[in-house]
Amino acid sequence: MKLHELFDKSARPQFLDAVLLADSPSSPRSFQTLNEERKWVSGRFDRNIGIDQPTHLRGDGQTHAHVLGRHRDELGVVNFDGTGSHGTRFKLHSKDADSLRARGFHIRADNIVEWVKFAKMPGMIFG
C-alpha cells in the first residue's frame, strides 16, 4: 500500500514520524525501525542519556550511549558491551549505570568505562 492510498492529498502528512521495515511482507511478525535519531532516556537527570544505533545505519559498530552531565555537556560514550567509545574513559554515576543496565548494556560493577587503544593491532594467523 502506498502513502497516497492511505490519505487524501489534503490530509497527507508532510513528514513521517517513523519508518518500519518488516522482515517479510507476507508475514510481518518482526520488524526493524529505520531511524537515525538518538533515543533519549533518563538516568541521573531527565533525558541525559542518548542511545544511538550502530554507526547510524551503516551497520558496523555497536549500539552506544552518550551520557550527558547537568549542563548537557558530554561526560563520555559507552558501547553496549560496556567499553568506552569515541576515545572516552570515565566512571558512570550509579543512576546512569542502572538506567543503561535496564536497557541491556553490560556495565561493569564498579561503573568504570574504559577505552583501550592499541599502538598496533595484533596480528592474526590463519591456517
Instruction: Report the SS3 class of residue 37.
Output: coil
**3-class state of residue 96 by DSSP:** helix
Cell match 554507526: residue? 55
pLDDT in tens, 67-91: 999 999 999 999 999 999 877 899 9
Residues 34 and 57 sit within 8 Å (Cβ to Cβ): yes
Q: Where in the chain are the domains?
A: 36-113
Residue 77: strand, helix, or coil = strand
Give backbone dihedrals phi and psi of 97, rounded to 5 degrees, phi first: -65, -45
Over its length of 127 residues, how does the chain's per-residue pLDDT go in tens digits?
565 666 666 666 666 666 666 666 665 566 566 655 789 999 999 999 999 888 654 556 789 999 999 999 999 999 999 999 877 899 999 999 999 999 999 999 999 998 766 566 556 666 5
